[in-house]
Amino acid sequence: MKESFELTQTSTGGESAFSSFKRTLTEFAYGFFVLLQVIGLSAWDLFLPKIGGPTSVLALSTLLMVVLLGAISTWTISRMVLVTIVLALSFIYIYLFRNSVFLFCLIAILAGQGFTPKRLIKTDLYFRGFGVALIVMLSFLGILPMSGRGEQLTGNFFTSFSYGFLSPNTLGFLVLIVGLDAYLHVSQKWQKVSILVLALFFESLLKYLTGILGVMTLIIVSIFFHKDKSNQTAMTARYRIFCLASVLFFLFATFGSCYIAKNYNSTDTVWNFANKLFSLRFPIWQYYYEGWPPSLFGNIIYVDQSTVGLIGFGAFDGSYLYFLLKYGWVAISIILLAMIYALKHTKDYFSRRILVLFVAVTLVTGIPETPGFLVAYSPFFPLLGSLFVNSSSKGDPAAKELRN
């Protein structure tokens, strides 16, 4: 029998009322955190700085509140081990970098343990969708800039206002995640098709190729991982194939990015052709790889996007190489191991479907760009944390409590 430790009310009536209140408060706290992240990615952050920034004090405090609320539940030995490991890594990265994006990723894993996957996606959809709609509406009202260059305000060469956000790419990726949340939230086929069509339309309107790639990935993987009640064996086989393919893809993308950064040759015709396919990212990768080679816990890298003449104006896109060089082999390994654990231990079909689609979209879009691995843009890390509690069999007391 799995040993567990109760941190909740003991009486049935009291537990039910307390659990309901705690669940509502947890959802609101996480939703407020998501809203802060959306604000931090918009032009709003220029006028009220440090309010909604991705690593602001208010955002960190809100996320820690979600962690504490999620901790008031049934604990298992495995969960205690997981929390201990994540906390140890958090202290290491606090000591090394004080405040870092990966620290938020670690805390987000803990925050996700207060949710079932379904409730997490629902909460993320409502608050992220509201945040995006609010910023876009403010741009139409003339309160936030709808278009135009903004590097003089931000110091970032790539600032190009788009419907209240700092760039079309920022809005495009948020539209992709909101669309993915909505696709998983609705049940009718016509609703799902409508969401996919709208997502493709908006990504095309923004001319955001990574967003289009993400939507196409969503469509392909949804077809591959469809529910087939008449053939459970085939469904299980397809899931195992996806798990293996995901791990291999992650490893190939990580080491492939390193190979490109190390061996790119600007005088070679083949390399130049491949570089154009990747929107001229190869020399930028090489610049950072040579300046800050991979290490165990990463490097303090200042991404300068304002200096004229710097290769690619300092833009550092690509999740795998970015996390490897900036946060080290430990960080990239933790992401991989967390994904493997979630894939291996998730049992029910709906949770698997959520995980499969988020993993697919995150991994594919992670090659050209970084947002999929950032807490500000996606609930990917909270989802992994949610599945650590809710992925085991129905006998798991922690999972039972969260389902109530």
Residue 276 CA to residue 322 CA, distance in Å, equals: 20
Q: Cα–chain-centroid distance for residue 84? A: 22
The residue type found at 188 is: Q
Which residues of the chain register pLDDT less than 50? 1-14, 308-309, 392-404
pLDDT, tens digit (0-9, with 9 covering 90-100), for 51-67: 666 667 888 889 989 98
Residues with Cβ within 8 Å of residue 160, at least 6 apart in sequence: 147, 148, 149, 150, 166, 167, 168
CA angle 327, 388, 318 (to 5 degrees): 30
Q: At what angle do helices 12-40 and 57-71 cross, to 10 degrees?
A: 160
The residue type found at 196 is: L
Distances from the Cα of 77 to the Cαs of 58, 81, 159, 396, in angstroms? 32, 6, 47, 11
* Residue 20: per-residue pLDDT: 83
Using left for φ > 0, alpha for ψ between -120 and 50, and beta otherwise, residue 50 falls in left
**Among 171, 173, 168, residue whose Cα is nearest residue 149:** 168
pLDDT, tens digit (0-9, with 9 covering 90-100), for 126-173: 999 999 999 999 999 988 888 776 555 655 656 778 888 988 999 999
Residue 260 CA to residue 393 CA, distance in Å, equals: 42
332 burial (CB, 10 Å; 0-12 / 13-18 / 19+) is buried
Q: Which two tokens stand for residue 367?
A: 């090659």
**pTM (2 d.p.):** 0.87
* Residue 1: per-residue pLDDT: 39
Contact 398, 73 (CB under 8 A): yes
Strands 4-5 and 75-76 come out as: antiparallel
> What is the CB neighbour count within 10 angstroms for residue 178?
23
Residue 174 CA to residue 320 CA, distance in Å, equals: 20
Residue 56 CA to residue 49 CA, distance in Å, equals: 9
**Among 104, 81, 388, 372, residue whose Cα is nearest residue 250:** 372
Q: Exposure pattern of 294-307 as b/e (b: 16+ CB <10 Å)?
A: beebbbeeeeebee
Residues with Cβ within 8 Å of residue 145, at least 6 apart in sequence: 43, 139, 161, 164
Residues with Cβ within 8 Å of residue 317, at least 6 apart in sequence: 281, 284, 368, 369, 370
